[in-house]
Every structure is written in structure tokens, then in C-alpha cells.
């Protein structure tokens, strides 16, 4: 039944795309862990050589859950019940009795690891990835500072924030918000550029600063924001990863890295002077990382009370001053292939 303007409806719970299942530091070599994605559990294993795999945790032999007592043996995962082993492609490679393994596999999902985060491609129909993520170069950035949240929400809804310019001043207190170019839609990628005055400064009691944001969204689970503070010449890169565990049960991982002073262009003269001394450089980078991350976490947490209680209004009563919400939603339809097939 078609909804009327302003009426709440429901989005399909699991749009296809790449979703974070953890930060790289959570997956040590030789360990096996369980995560939940799209309403199902997933075993994430890192082999002795460092290769990551994501597979169904239920052993096809007699049904043990390999997330509870499973171990990594070389390049395979060993089931705790009878010692059957499975390679990173899911194929059974050994039994626990030195006998010929049965021709059987556990289902696997494709894993992508870049910039310190591990993502898995989810397609509720079980299909292969329909798009790839770039291997981002993080060599000129500090290590990531990260935080994990679990909340009620849907990835399309939380990612819509990137283009919801109206709420930036109302919820986050930004001022002078300006789009710096038209929204770019390129297949599964979306890019928006805007500038504003951010109320959060780099020192206690400061009056905030002007910043430029370039937001790149890839699918509904992977948002990256390159931030510039033109007056200081400082840059940072933030990530927001929205992962649907189950229907309206969302994991949100945020991360931020600051660009090394040595790699930054157009530094404020004082910072350029600081960057000549290693100790001072480390001090400035540490303070900048801490403050910029605090600003990011503060921004994200300000949205929580809205997300916790909001409904999805499929035909919103939009007004001048809103961002390109309608274009974003048309772009997002590509991540629901079942809907497209229904016409
Ligand atoms: S149930 Fe896994 S080896 Fe038997
Ligand atoms: Fe927001």
C-alpha cells in the first residue's frame, strides 16, 4: 500500500553493501570470533599468516558452533566437536580422524580490510559483491582512534545524516553551512562537500573554527569524511560505519585519524615551526587527535536521541533549507535489489 505524505513506513531491514564487523586490531592472528550481521551470526577468523575469512559458524558435520571453542590451525579453522577443519574458502580440508574429508563447505562472505577496519559484503540473497571498496592509503595519517556504539536504527537512516543539511545547525550547532559543490552520485558512491563553522574548538573554551567537509559514502554502511581546517592547515579523516546486526538493531563504529603535520600542506606558521621538532609534533598531533575525536563523538552522540525514537517517513514533507534528501533516497534504492525486481 502506498504511503501518503508524512506517514511512517518501514525500510527493508538489510540493504546490500559493505558493513564493518570490527577494527583490524580486534582480529589477532590465530583467533576466531563471532559477529552478527543481517540477522545471522558470522565467524571471523584470522589465520596464522594473517588472512581474514568470514564464514557460517555452524559446522556442516554435526552442527557445532565454531565460535565457541573453534580454533585456528595454520590456514584453517578447526571445529571443537570432532576436529574437522575448514579452509578460508569454506571447504572442509580435514577430519579429526586423519580420514578423507567429506566434500562439503561452509558458506563464506567476502572480506575487505583497509585503513584498520574489517568489512564484509552483505547481500540478503547471498550474491557476490556488486561493488568494490577502494584500498585507501593511510600512510600519512595517525593510527585510528575508535569507538563502538549499539543502538536502535537503520543504516539508510543514519547515513542520511550526511546530506541532511537542515539538522546540522539545529542538532549540532554548526553555523554558516554551505554546500561547496553539487551532490555527486557515482554508482554506489555519493559525495557531498560543504563548509561551516563548527562550535567545537581545539582548545577548551575556544569559540570553534571553520571547517570544510568532503563526505564520501559507499553503500549505506561506509561513510568517510575528509576534514580540513583551512586557517590552521590541519586535516583529519573520519569514518562512520553503520552495520545492521538485526532489524533496527544497529552497530555504529566511528574512527578518526589526523593527518601528520609533516604531510600537511599550508600549515599555520606556528604549526610549521612546531613541525620542525619531533617532540612538539607528537604533542600537537596527540592533542589534535584527542580533540578532533571528541568533536566527532560529540556530533554523533547528539544524533542518538533522534535516531532512538524516529520513524522512517518515506514521503517526507520537505522544505527549502533541507539538504538533497530526495536525491539521496533515490540513490539508496540501488541497495534493495528485491524492491527493484518487484518494480
Ligand atoms: S560438528 Fe564440527 S567436527 Fe563434528
Ligand atoms: Fe547528525
Q: Rounded to the nearest 10 degrees, how much is the dihedral formed by the CA atoms of 195, 163, 203, 207?
A: 60
Q: How many Å apart are CA 302 and CA 75, to the nearest integer? A: 44
Ligand 1 near 209 CB (within 6 A): no
Query: How high is the pLDDT of residue 209?
Result: 87
Question: Position of cell 599468516?
Answer: 49
Q: What is the mean pLDDT of the chain?
A: 93
Cα 320 to middle of ligand 2, angstroms: 19
Q: Which pLDDT belongs to residue 135? A: 87
Q: Is residue 254 over pLDDT 90?
A: yes
Does residue 79 have its Cβ closer than 6 Å to ligand 1?
yes
Cite the beta strand spans of 152-208 per DSSP E: 175-179, 184-186, 189-198
CA distances from 326 to 101, 170, 188, 196, 275 (A): 53, 20, 16, 22, 45
Does the beta carbon of 82 lie inside 6 Å of ligand 1? yes
Which ligand 1 atom lies nearest to the CA of residue 82? Answer: 3
pLDDT at residue 152, rounded to an integer: 94
What pLDDT is attached to residue 23?
Answer: 97
Select from 32, 43, 58, 64 the residue to mutate for testing ligand 1; criterion: most ligand atoms less than 8 Å from CB: 64
The whole-angstrom separation of Cα 289 and Cα 281 is 12
Q: How many Cα atoms are found within 13 Å in the side-chain-facing hemisphere of 163?
A: 25
Q: How far is the CA of 71 from the centre of ligand 2 (A)?
A: 41
**Distance from the CA of 19 to the center of ligand 1, in angstroms?**
29
- What pLDDT is recorded for position 340? 60
Structure confidence by residue, pLDDT tens digits, 122-171: 998 889 999 999 989 999 999 999 999 999 999 999 999 999 999 999 99
Three cell numbers, residue 133: 571498496
pLDDT digits (tens, 9 = 90+) for 4-60: 666 667 889 999 999 999 999 999 999 999 999 999 999 999 999 999 999 999 999
DSSP state for residue 57 in the 8-state scheme: S
| Ligand 2 mean position, distance from CA 198 (Å) | 13
Percent of residues, the chain, with pLDDT higher than 70: 95
For ligand 1, atom 3, name the residue with the nearest CA.
Answer: 82
What pLDDT, on the 0 to 100 scale, is given for residue 202?
67
Task: For residue 59, give the ligand 1 atom closest to its CA.
Answer: 2
User: Does residue 68's CB lie within 6 angstroms of at least one atom of ligand 1?
Assistant: no
Mean pLDDT (whole number) for 56-83: 98
Delineate the domains of the chain, giving CATH numbers in brackets. 17-122 (2.102.10.10), 145-335 (3.90.380.10)
| Rounded CA separation 154/11 (Å) | 8
pLDDT for the residue numbered 341: 60
pTM of the model: 0.94
With helix as H, strand as E and coil as C, how does 240-259 read? EEEEEEECCEEEEEEEEEEE
pLDDT at residue 208 in the model: 82
Say yes or no: CB of residue 86 within 6 Å of ligand 1.
Answer: no
CA nearest 45: which of 64, 61, 14, 21? Answer: 21
pLDDT of residue 274: 87
More confident residue, 87 or 272: 87
Residue of 72, 52, 54, 56 lying closest to 113 (CA atoms): 52
Give yes or no for residue 1 having a pLDDT over 50. Answer: no
163-211 pLDDT per residue, tens = 999 999 999 999 899 988 899 999 999 999 999 988 876 666 677 889 9
Amino acid at each position: 500500500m502506498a504511503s501518503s505524505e508524512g506517514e511512517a513506513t518501514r525500510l527493508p531491514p538489510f540493504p546490500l553493501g559493505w558493513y564493518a564487523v570490527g577494527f583490524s586490531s580486534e582480529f589477532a592472528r590465530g583467533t576466531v570470533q563471532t559477529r552478527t550481521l543481517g540477522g545471522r551470526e558470522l565467524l571471523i577468523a584470522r589465520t596464522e599468516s594473517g588472512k581474514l575469512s568470514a564464514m557460517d559458524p555452524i559446522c556442516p558435520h554435526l552442527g557445532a558452533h565454531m565460535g565457541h571453542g573453534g580454533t585456528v590451525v595454520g590456514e584453517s579453522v578447526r571445529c571443537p566437536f570432532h576436529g574437522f577443519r575448514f579452509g578460508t574458502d569454506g571447504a572442509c580440508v580435514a577430519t579429526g580422524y586423519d580420514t578423507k574429508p567429506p566434500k562439503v563447505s561452509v558458506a563464506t562472505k567476502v572480506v575487505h580490510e583497509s585503513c584498520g577496519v574489517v568489512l564484509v559484503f552483505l547481500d540478503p540473497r547471498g550474491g557476490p559483491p556488486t561493488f568494490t571498496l577502494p584500498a585507501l592509503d593511510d600512510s600519512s595519517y595517525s593510527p585510528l582512534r575508535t569507538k563502538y556504539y549499539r543502538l536502535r536504527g537503520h543504516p539508510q537512516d543514519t547515513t542520511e545524516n550526511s546530506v541532511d543539511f537542515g539538522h546540522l545547525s539545529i542538532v549540532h550547532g554548526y553555523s554558516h553551512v554551505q554546500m561547496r559543490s553539487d551532490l555527486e552520485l557515482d554508482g554506489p558512491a555519493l559525495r557531498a562537500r560543504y563548509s561551516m563553522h563548527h562550535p567545537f574548538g581545539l582548545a577548551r573554551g575556544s569559540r570553534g573554527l571553520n571547517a570544510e567537509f568532503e563526505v564520501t559514502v559507499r553503500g549505506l554502511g561506509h561513510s568517510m569524511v575528509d576534514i580540513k581546517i583551512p586557517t590552521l592547515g590541519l586535516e583529519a579523516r573520519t569514518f562512520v560505519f553503520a552495520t545492521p546486526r538485526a532489524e533496527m538493531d544497529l552497530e555504529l563504529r566511528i574512527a578518526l585519524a589526523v593527518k601528520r603535520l609533516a604531510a600537511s600542506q599550508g600549515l599555520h606558521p606556528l604549526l610549521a615551526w612546531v613541525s620542525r621538532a619531533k617532540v612538539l609534533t607528537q604533542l600537537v598531533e596527540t592533542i589534535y587527535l584527542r580533540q578532533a575525536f571528541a568533536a566527532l563523538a560529540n556530533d554523533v552522540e547528539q544524533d542518538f536521541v533522534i535516531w532512538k525514537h524516529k520513524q522512517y517517513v518515506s514521503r517526507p514533507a520537505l522544505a527549502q533549507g533541507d539538504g538533497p534528501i530526495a536525491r539521496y533516497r533515490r540513490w539508496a534504492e540501488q541497495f534493495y535489489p528485491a524492491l527493484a525486481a518487484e518494480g
